[in-house]
Structure 1
Amino acid sequence: MNLIDLLGLLLYFAILILIGYRSAKKVSNSADFAVAGNKIIWPVLFATLAASFLGGGASMGRAGKSFDEGYAFMFAASAFPIATVLAGLFIAPRLKRYTNAHTVGDIMGLHFGASARLFTGIFSLVFCVGILGAQALAVGTVFHAILGIEVSTGILIGMAVVLLYSTVGGMWAVIQTDVVQFLMLAIFLPITMIIGVNEIGGPAALIEQLPSGHFSLMGDYSVGMFVSIFIAFLLGETLVPPYTQRALSAPDSRHARIGYSVAGGFGFLFYFVSSTIGLIALVMYPSISPDQAMPALIRDALPIGITGLVLASLLAVVMSTADSYLNSAAVIFVSDIYKPFIDPNVSENKRLWIERLVNLLIGAGAVVFALYATSIVDALLLSYSLWAPTILIPFVLGVLLDLKCNKAAISAMLAGALVTIFWKWGPFDLQEATGFTALIAGVLVNILVFIVVYRLFKSHKTLAKSNA
């Protein structure tokens, strides 16, 4: 890498550390660390949410899949921005009814009791570490592609910076760095796409040099596979802890609704840009690994002076997601597990320091996960199977319909988790036999069990009242 580009990258890291240092002065209690004092207006909410969910999977992972499979994966994965817009319109505004809530577990506890809160905390914690691991792997991939260093070394360098500013500055630092990172990705990744298209002779030349199947709606996917991917992205990351935390950080329901919905709309544009970069890389570097598509284009096609800035924006995309999941995991542990079940009388000052300590420990766990993961998107899809079949359905039903039934929520979460685990790692290839992925099977069982147990329990209570 040219010295000018390297200096630009070092400057970016210095800015992140400075933000963390300055933000530490604003963090005086757990509410500041978890939801930034509920002061995040919608333009900032839009920027931080967009920066959070447009991470390694949505950038390098999407580019890599398009490199392999064309726009078909982009069409299937567009389910996520659709889900984000719907959540912004119908669910995010309702979350502001829960005064002083910091986590999904806080809300689940209000609807379904302490046991549901505990299970929510455990499942959410495992999910966040998995997603964080995928982002750590993406950081290492960028460093390897651009600087030629080992992926494992890149993971350690990038995550060290994330751990530093997110631990001292909490959500204040996460949101401020996210806004910087959002501006960088919104400017420099489209510039990368435009330069790449011009490099190969324009849009017509790109279309001419690619297989025709790369422009079709479903590509080589069967209907079942396309639907499975669509559902995985529709449900797998919807209202996950960091995104719910963003809505809870808004001052009121209006800011939550607008910020969330606009971020979802931006997702469609970003998915097109990252997918097109993957197609450009296929034309220019047909023999590279798919996950290297975006970093390779940045490294080889961009002029000196811009490469460092675009590399910084690519790292920004990944690190903005990593810091969000890291902060959420720490807050989940303290709010949903430690305080309610280990030390209910924990002081505010001690709680803040525990969150910071857990932030460090979880970051270390995510690094270990990243060192053993094989693919960014595979790591994401594996983590998705831990969220939708367990927590999402009871959470949405509780918020939208104000349902309250502890037995229904607990039964649905455990049934969904067990079915997903058996489907994915059991002795039989149930996906091949049925056509359903583990995530779909788990979600279907989760819904069925929740409805059946809820109706049985409510019928039992009604009968008991009538006999009284």
Structure 2
Amino acid sequence: MNILDTFVLLLYFGVLMIIGIIGVKKAKSEKDFVLAGSRLGYYSHVGCLAAVIIGGAATMGSTSLGYNFGVSGLWFVSMMGFGIAALGLFVVNKIGGYEVFTISQLLGKRFGEGTQLISAIVTAIYTLMVVVTQVIGMGNVIHVLLGWSLIPSMIIGGGIVLFYTILGGMWSITLTDIIQFIVMTIGVFFIMFPFSVNSVGGLTALFSSVPEAHLSLTNIGWDRIFQYFLLYFFGLMVSQDIWQRVFTARNQKIAKKSAISAGLYSVLYGLVLSIVGMCALVLLPNLGDSQSAFTSLALEILPPGLLGLVLASVCSALMSNASGAIFASATLITNDIIKVYVKRDMTDRDIINTSRIVIFGLGVLAIIFSVWIQNILVALDMAYAILSGAIFVPLIIGLYWKRVTSKAAFYSIIASSLVIFISFIIFGITSTLPIIYGLITGLVVIVGFTLIIPENNIEVNKENTSIYK
């Protein structure tokens, strides 16, 4: 990178930190800090949802899959898009009337404090692993672009995210997400994609230059497509960082429309980056690591200035996803564990201060795990396997089947979590079997306990006023 591109990238980092300072003034209550006051309109809400879906794994991972498998690499992000669209179509109307901030609070209202605690722990582990994927991505981008060592690069990238997240909470995240969505869209759709296609002589030349299998929608394999469906379609529907963004909408109608729109955006994003990955294969056929396909291609084809903007778009994807995930994890720990089991009479100021301490601790932990794992797609697969396998069944069945008992939901999460972790050890962390076994276990336990051991179920505790104002 030349001086101009480095300046553009560092200027972008500076803007994000300034926004964090601005967010401090807006975060005056718990709802402001946790949900940005639930005031977002359609356009800003679409940007926030898309920004939290499209992270570093989605950007760099889709390009890597396009490099290795061609157009079928789109299934990775497309399943995320289908998941968020399904959330808008089938779940938003069910959850809109609860006065809650987290998935665990909803499960707690439905099934009691025991289920709230265990679901908070499981979901917090998932969100922490999502942060790990983004810190790995940020470290690799900064390492490649600025030539700094990998570990310091992870610390710097993660530190910037921690800075603005700790200060302003969801207000800072929302403001940065809107900017990051704009930068991300311009960088990928209007710069990287047309420059990549033009560099190989157009789409016709590209399609004739890559292996024929790269043009098949199933080249990646039905087993991988099914794995992405299990991981990301189900996972996005019950993801705390997504739910927390959903609740920032001004009303239920906006939440539903923007979820569907963000889903469609994600499908297009996956398709475009798969084609970019194919362009990288033509121009850089001997890459040692396909995870670097996006950044390597950008360094190869983009002129000064635009290179800095496109690389800022990669950092946008990484940072927006990281900030949302770490904030979601901190919200779960603060609201569903500390506030319930440690200090019940917390004021809004206590909650904000405690959240900031938890965010800092989780950020340090995420950086440590990032140095240990160092593989984006593996870390993301682990995260969604834990979430989808353990939380999806009790949450969705509990919303639609009122007979489900509190014991059934509690033991369903416990049993499926144990099965997933044991399956990781037996079959490996890249296997599809842990999530399949987790889903089956959760379903068998929740249905079996409900039918065999009936109880007077806890009444669903809906507030008279919706979370949407």
Partners of 1:218 and 1:128 lie apart in 2 by: 30
Q: Would you say the 8 A contact 2:92–2:255 is kept in 1?
A: yes
Q: Give 1:317-466 correspondences, 5 Å limit.
A: 317-402=317-402, 404-426=404-426, 429=427, 437-458=433-454
Q: Would you say the 8 A contact 1:94–1:253 is kept in 2?
A: no
**1:107-133 Cα shifts (integer Å, max 9, x gaps):** 011101000000011111111111100
Sequence identity (%)? 27
Task: Tell me which residue corresponds to 1:276.
Answer: 275
Q: Would you say the 8 A contact 1:63–1:293 is kept in 2?
A: yes
**RMSD of the TM alignment (CA)?**
1.9
How far did 1:233 drift? 2.2
Q: Which moved more, 1:185-194 or 1:342-351?
A: 342-351
Aligned length: 455
Task: Tell me which residue corresponds to 1:234.
Answer: 233
Q: Which moved more, 1:232-241 or 1:150-159?
A: 232-241
Q: Would you say the 8 A contact 1:391–1:413 is kept in 2?
A: yes
Partners of 2:330 and 2:32 lie apart in 1 by: 13
Task: Tell me which residue corresponds to 1:139.
Answer: 138
Matched, 1:166 2:165: yes
Matched, 1:248 2:247: yes
Q: 1:273 to 1:388 in 2, by over 3 A?
A: same
Q: Would you say the 8 A contact 2:230–2:388 is kept in 1?
A: no
Q: Give 1:121-270 correspondences, 5 Å limit.
A: 121-190=120-189, 191-219=191-219, 221=221, 223-270=222-269
Letter in 1 for 2:353: W
Partners of 1:37 and 1:25 lie apart in 2 by: 13
Q: Give 1:37-56 correspondences, 5 Å limit.
A: 37-56=37-56
Letter in 1 for 2:444: L
Partners of 2:359 and 2:428 lie apart in 1 by: 37
Letter in 1 for 2:158: M
Letter in 2 for 1:356: R
How far did 1:69 drift? 2.0
Q: Would you say the 8 A contact 1:77–1:230 is kept in 2?
A: no
Task: Tell me which residue corresponds to 2:464.
Answer: none
Unaligned runs of 5+ in 1: 463-468
Could you say what secondary structure the match of 2:97 adopts?
coil
Q: 1:21 to 1:170 in 2, by over 3 A?
A: same
Partners of 2:197 and 2:424 lie apart in 1 by: 40
Q: Would you say the 8 A contact 1:56–1:317 is kept in 2?
A: yes
How far did 1:143 drift? 1.1
Task: Tell me which residue corresponds to 1:24.
Answer: 24
**1:9-54 Cα shifts (integer Å, max 9, x gaps):** 1211111111111110011122211111111222211110100110
Matched, 1:315 2:283: no
Matched, 1:94 2:94: yes
How far did 1:334 drift? 0.6
Task: Tell me which residue corresponds to 1:62.
Answer: 62
Please, what TM-score do these two structures have when normalized by structure 2? 0.93
Could you say what secondary structure the match of 1:236 adopts?
helix
Partners of 2:397 and 2:239 lie apart in 1 by: 15
Partners of 1:220 and 1:51 lie apart in 2 by: 26
Q: Would you say the 8 A contact 2:75–2:270 is kept in 1?
A: no
Letter in 1 for 2:238: L
Q: Which moved more, 1:346-355 or 1:180-189?
A: 346-355
Q: Which moved more, 1:198-207 or 1:112-121?
A: 198-207
Letter in 2 for 1:417: S
Could you say what secondary structure the match of 1:123 adopts?
helix
Partners of 1:7 and 1:441 lie apart in 2 by: 49
Task: Tell me which residue corresponds to 1:73.
Answer: 73
Please, what TM-score do these two structures have when normalized by structure 1? 0.93
Q: 1:220 to 1:30 in 2, by over 3 A?
A: closer
**1:88-145 Cα shifts (integer Å, max 9, x gaps):** 111123322012x111111011101000000011111111111100000011111122
Q: 1:231 to 1:17 in 2, by over 3 A?
A: same
Q: Would you say the 8 A contact 1:19–1:176 is kept in 2?
A: yes
Partners of 2:428 and 2:292 lie apart in 1 by: 32
Partners of 1:69 and 1:37 lie apart in 2 by: 43
Q: Would you say the 8 A contact 1:33–1:169 is kept in 2?
A: yes
Matched, 1:13 2:13: yes
Could you say what secondary structure the match of 1:386 adopts?
helix
Q: 1:461 to 1:31 in 2, by over 3 A?
A: closer
Q: Would you say the 8 A contact 2:129–2:379 is kept in 1?
A: yes
Q: Would you say the 8 A contact 1:111–1:403 is kept in 2?
A: no
Letter in 1 for 2:78: S
Partners of 1:403 and 1:64 lie apart in 2 by: 45
Q: Would you say the 8 A contact 2:83–2:236 is kept in 1?
A: no
Partners of 2:354 and 2:179 lie apart in 1 by: 28
Partners of 1:192 and 1:315 lie apart in 2 by: 14
How far did 1:461 drift? 5.9
Partners of 2:220 and 2:61 lie apart in 1 by: 18
How far did 1:72 drift? 2.5
